[in-house]
Amino acid sequence: MDPITGMLANSVVTILTPYVKQTAEAFIDTAGQAAYEKAKGLFDALKTRWVGKSAATNLQEFQSDPDGSQEILRAVLKKQFDNDPELKADVDKRINDLGPVINAIQNLDRARHVTTVDAERVHSGTINAQQSAKDAEDATTVRVKDFG
């Protein structure tokens, strides 16, 4: 497997996790209507193009438990991309149409005055930030002054 396939699989999981976790309204409030439509189109394209019962089942499991099945989905995506170059090209185009993806994760025991993502301006794209701390004070997950 080439490294691009792994990066593409990671991008798909990063984009689809908030899509399947939130209601359509919540996703639109967070990311906007255009991002929602593109994430929905990506999810629907995978459902339509995936071959084999296990791939379809894994996509359904991801929809039911996105946090618990991300690694399995990544593995299935990589296999599907290796076996279907047209699917890989289609998904790659859809990802590029979404704009840049920022994926930031912080797992801390103690956090004081911490921000996971801090940006002046984000023109387009997707931010997936997760922050957890056992003991936190003044912790911010995402701060963007101007988005869009």
For the chain, what are the domain ranges? 3-98, 102-147
Side-chain-side CA neighbours of residue 131 (13 Å)? 19
**pLDDT given at position 60:** 85
pLDDT at 51 (0 to 100): 67
Cα(77)–Cα(65) distance, rounded to whole angstroms? Answer: 16
Print pLDDT tens along the chain (148 aa): 577 888 899 889 988 988 888 887 887 777 778 788 888 999 998 888 876 667 778 888 888 998 888 998 899 899 889 988 999 999 999 988 877 767 777 889 998 999 988 989 887 777 878 888 899 999 988 888 887 7
Which pLDDT score, from 0 to 100, does residue 127 have? 80
Give the list of residues 6+ apart from residue 61 with CB closer than 8 angstroms, or none.
Answer: 69, 72
Alpha-carbon gap, residue 101 to 25, rounded angstroms: 21
